[in-house]
């Protein structure tokens, strides 16, 4: 079998998807529940790792386990029904939008998680906009139906009105939120799926199929209401249309409770049945790279110190085409230089193992790949360059200084590493010099990550001094000189270390507009908004 045929056949077996949501919607819990149902893990822990149970497999960072939130993306690969699933867990908090955007550049589908009580929330809307912009089809999971919440039909109306997306239920709840009696698989409407949850949700919930006659007798008004609602939805043509789903015009909807493992199996099956396999990828400047062509891949994330014993650095590579083989020499498109892939791992949360071969859709961890940066394209044989990833507009700025001057070397190394990972953007000003870099962040929680990791991973505690700026604009050397001699505007020009771009920082939009009036010929371009 030729390499192209092998790549195409293996790509057809892959499903690479992300789980996205607003904070506290249960995203990491769902991530682990999916892995549990796929038999990738044997016991699920709650987000906070209650009792003697560990935290979720995807939240491997100490800070994540302590706070019960995801602050970095994670990769979980496992098999289900003969298919290989690459699940990319994403940070839900808006402060980490850049990390989520990078992950969405590496997936073919997204599972959008909605809290049954809260419905669509701000970050959910922003992430959906990114999916729509990138042409990523979305499967919706309404979570926490075992707790009090809103009406199911009301939530569907909200999705349709706000997203201009036709919601097509695949499962439907019997019983209102907080009084869940079971689920109906719309494809088999004559059966009630009733669940008995395991203590603490550590194991799969026991699922029982109850015939319609018995369900009507035992559930009474709840069953009757569910049947009437399904008839109403069918009359409204709210039926799954696969072409419409792939085109981004509809979203299949599932109901359940991730913490109780209710409805998770049906969602997992849907990822296999509905999510698209890897396909041809658009190239920078036009054209596509077919999955069967020679190897190519996109670096979408860089992470250091996942292994505390070795303090190494991993570049996460999404295989886009062809066959990846460990040890192969490829070309880094940005430099045109060869790159050896001797140390390649498959990753499951923090755990990893050597990988010999990977196919389109798979994620490979390249260890100690210090030359690689987020957005890099690697290829073999025929050149390829995938579209780059934008750097978001920061809104929070702080000067970083070593708390212990004797740890200056470690301080510089740590700041440079966090800049390469994209944890923060690092700026340098003529006023302070490189010994006092300015950290630029989309949200203030990024600074918490910096202080935590600098102290814990690099043994270089930092002091952060906030700056009075909240608006950044792209400028050039001439604009920087004009800003420095302006007598009307409070502002400062700085250079971003990552790409040497010059940024003009202002306290607010009024000051930026005042500068534009004072120097009408100055370059002052908006940066990409944090929602992508």
User: How do residues 169-189 score in pLDDT, each as one tens digit?
Assistant: 999 999 999 999 999 999 888
| 515 and 416 within one domain | yes
| 429 and 341 within one domain | no
**Which among 120-124, 343-347, 422-426, 522-526 has the top mean pLDDT?**
522-526
Classify residue 422 by burial, with Cβ atoms within 10 Å: 0-12, 13-18, 19+.
buried
CA angle 279, 281, 284 (to 5 degrees): 175
**CA–CA distance from 87 to each of 64, 128, 327, 432, 505 (Å)?**
18, 18, 25, 43, 38
Q: What is the pLDDT of residue 433?
A: 83
Domain-located, residue 428: yes
| 233 and 158 within one domain | yes
How many separate domains does the chain show? 3
User: How do residues 44-58 score in pLDDT, each as one tens digit?
Assistant: 553 334 444 444 444
| 141 and 182 within one domain | yes
| 244 and 97 within one domain | yes
The residue out of 276, 292, 318 marking a domain boundary is 276
**CA–CA distance from 219 to each of 149, 210, 228, 325 (Å)?**
20, 11, 14, 56
Domain-located, residue 260: yes
Looking only at Cα atoms, what is the longest distance across the chain? 82
CATH for 239: 3.40.50.300
| The dihedral sign for the CA sequence 476, 482, 488, 490 | positive
> Residue 63 pLDDT > 50, yes or no?
no
| The dihedral sign for the CA sequence 279, 285, 286, 288 | negative
**Percent of the chain whose pLDDT exceeds 90:** 62
- In which band, very low, low, confident or very high, does the pLDDT at 73 lie, cut at 50, 70 and 90? low
User: How do residues 484-518 score in pLDDT, each as one tens digit?
Assistant: 888 888 899 999 988 899 999 999 999 999 999 99
| 432 and 321 within one domain | no
Domain-located, residue 346: yes
CB of 305 closer than 8 Å to CB of 418: no
CB of 463 closer than 8 Å to CB of 401: yes
Domain-located, residue 388: no
| 413 and 298 within one domain | no
Domain-located, residue 185: yes
Average pLDDT of every residue of the chain: 87
Range of the domain at 457: 396-526
Count Cα atoms within 13 angstroms, Cβ side, for 166: 18
> Residue 332 pLDDT > 90, yes or no?
yes
CB of 261 closer than 8 Å to CB of 31: no
Domain-located, residue 387: no
Q: What is the pLDDT of residue 308?
A: 57
| 101 and 216 within one domain | yes
90 is in an annotated binding site: yes
User: How do residues 258-284 score in pLDDT, each as one tens digit?
Assistant: 999 999 999 999 999 999 999 999 999
| 287 and 267 within one domain | no
- For residue 260, give both structure tokens: 């109780």
Tell me the mean pLDDT in the region 374-398.
Answer: 90
| 402 and 364 within one domain | no
| 483 and 362 within one domain | no
264 against 203, higher pLDDT: 264
93 is in an annotated binding site: yes
Domain-located, residue 192: yes
Task: Give the least confident one: 62-66, 143-147, 203-207, 469-473.
Answer: 62-66
> Residue 134 pLDDT > 90, yes or no?
no
Q: To which residue do tokens 């499951």 refer?
A: 348
The residue out of 212, 246, 276 marking a domain boundary is 276
| 287 and 268 within one domain | no
Tell me the mean pLDDT in the region 453-459.
Answer: 90
- For residue 378, give both structure tokens: 């690697």
92 is in an annotated binding site: yes
> Residue 530 pLDDT > 70, yes or no?
no
Q: What is the pLDDT of residue 52?
A: 42
């Amino acid at each position: 079998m030729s390499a192209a045929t092998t790549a195409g056949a293996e790509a057809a077996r892959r499903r690479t998807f992300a789980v996205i949501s607003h904070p506290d919607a249960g995203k990491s819990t769902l991530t682990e529940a999916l892995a549990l149902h796929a038999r990738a893990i044997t016991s699920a822990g709650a987000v906070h790792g209650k009792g003697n149970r560990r935290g979720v497999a995807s939240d491997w960072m100490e800070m994540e386990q302590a706070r019960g939130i995801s602050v970095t993306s994670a990769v979980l690969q496992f098999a289900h029904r003969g298919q290989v699933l690459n699940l990319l867990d994403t940070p839900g908090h808006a402060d980490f939008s850049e990390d989520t955007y990078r992950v969405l550049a590496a997936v073919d589908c997204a599972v959008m998680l909605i809290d049954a009580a809260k419905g669509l929330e701000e970050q959910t809307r922003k992430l959906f906009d990114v999916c729509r912009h990138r042409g990523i089809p979305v499967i919706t999971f309404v979570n926490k139906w075992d707790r009090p919440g809103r009406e199911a039909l009301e939530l569907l109306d909200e999705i349709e009105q706000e997203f201009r997306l036709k919601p097509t239920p695949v499962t439907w709840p019997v019983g209102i939120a907080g009084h869940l009696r079971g689920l109906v698989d719309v494809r088999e409407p004559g059966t009630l799926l009733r669940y008995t949850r395991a203590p603490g949700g550590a194991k799969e919930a026991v699922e029982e199929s109850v015939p319609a006659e018995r369900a009507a007798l035992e559930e009474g008004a709840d069953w009757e209401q569910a049947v009437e609602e399904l008839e109403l939805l069918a009359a409204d043509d709210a039926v799954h249309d696969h072409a419409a789903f792939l085109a981004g015009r509809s979203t299949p909807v599932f109901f359940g409770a991730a913490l109780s493992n209710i409805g998770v199996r049906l969602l997992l099956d849907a990822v296999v049945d509905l999510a698209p396999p890897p396909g041809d990828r658009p190239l920078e400047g036009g054209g596509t790279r077919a999955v069967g062509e020679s190897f190519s891949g996109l670096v979408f994330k860089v992470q250091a110190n996942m292994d505390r014993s070795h303090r190494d650095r991993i570049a996460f590579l999404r295989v886009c085409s062809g066959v990846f083989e460990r040890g192969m020499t490829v070309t880094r498109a940005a430099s045109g230089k060869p790159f050896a892939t001797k140390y390649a791992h498959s990753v499951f949360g923090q755990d990893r193992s050597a990988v010999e071969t990977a196919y389109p859709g798979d994620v490979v961890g390249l260890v100690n790949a210090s030359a690689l940066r987020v957005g890099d394209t690697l290829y073999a044989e025929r050149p390829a360059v995938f579209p780059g990833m934008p750097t978001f507009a920061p809104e929070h700025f702080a000067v970083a200084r070593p708390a212990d001057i004797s740890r200056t070397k470690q301080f510089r190394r740590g700041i440079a590493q966090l800049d390469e990972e994209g944890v923060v953007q690092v700026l340098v000003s003529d006023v302070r010099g490189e010994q006092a870099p300015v950290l630029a962040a989309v949200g203030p929680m990024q600074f918490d990550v910096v202080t935590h990791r600098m102290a814990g991973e690099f043994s270089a505690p930092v002091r952060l001094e906030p700056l009075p700026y909240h608006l950044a604009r792209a400028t050039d050397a001439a604009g920087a000189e004009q800003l420095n001699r302006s007598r009307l505007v409070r502002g400062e020009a700085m250079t971003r270390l990552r790409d040497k771009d010059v940024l003009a920082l202002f306290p607010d939009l009024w000051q930026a507009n005042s500068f534009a009036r004072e120097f009408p010929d100055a370059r002052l371009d908006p940066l990409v908004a944090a929602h992508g």
